[in-house]
Amino acid sequence: MEEKKHSEDDGDKIKSSITIIGLNYVAALALAAFTFGQVNLDDDDKEHAAKDTNRTFQQEAEETPPPPPEEPPEIQITPEVPEEVVIKENEETPPPPDVTPPAPPPPVEQKVEPVAAPIVEFPDVEAGFPGGPAAMMKWINDNVKYPQTSIEMNEQGRVFLSFVVEKDGSITNVKVERGISIDLDREAKRVVRKMPKWIPGESAGRAVRARCRLPINFQLH
């Protein structure tokens, strides 16, 4: 009887142990399932939270206006303060040097040449030598000087000249119209320029500038 009782007790103990093991196993499975579900839930929450955070940052980036441009730094210029000049008592200040400004240049006189009156080729009254043609020929013979080189080279003939008798009788614009040689032409021009003033020509009762022509004859005896 005692052995049978012991056997029953042992059987009950084994059943109790199996039952406990089974409960523990079931509890372990339930805990594992709960933990796995919580892990998955945490991962999903983290992913949703990350998406929400990115969306929030993106919205803030879109809504936030760009910062205003930075103003250039203000440059402050401090003027230099000149050194203070201290004049001691009883110290004489030298007078400034006497600088004489240069004299202004003399004004340039602009010579305005009068417009010459026209030269009349054929005036109403021709200009003439004082005393007439005879007095003119005598004056030429008395004042002409036959060039020595022309005498040695036997140069002779007539030199035809033209000139202008001005309104006051003076002679200008002496030209050789037809000459003989350099020396004789030069002497003829010299004699005409040396002539005394002529009587000016007239047109319409007024003195005019008249052109005259004169031949001078050079002849060796």
pTM, 2 dp: 0.48
Q: What is residue 98's three-state secondary structure? A: coil
Q: What is the CATH number of domain 119-218?
A: 3.30.2420.10
Distance CA 216, CA 195 (A): 13
Long-range contacts of 36-41 (CB under 8 A, 24+ apart): none
Q: What residue type is assigned to position 90 of the chain?
A: N
Q: Could you list the pLDDT tens digit for every one of the 221 residues in the chain? A: 444 444 445 555 555 555 555 555 555 565 555 444 444 444 445 555 455 555 554 555 555 566 666 666 565 555 555 555 454 555 566 666 667 778 888 887 777 666 778 999 999 999 999 999 999 999 999 999 999 999 999 999 999 999 999 999 999 999 999 999 999 999 999 999 999 999 999 999 999 999 999 999 999 87
d(CA 187, CA 217): 11
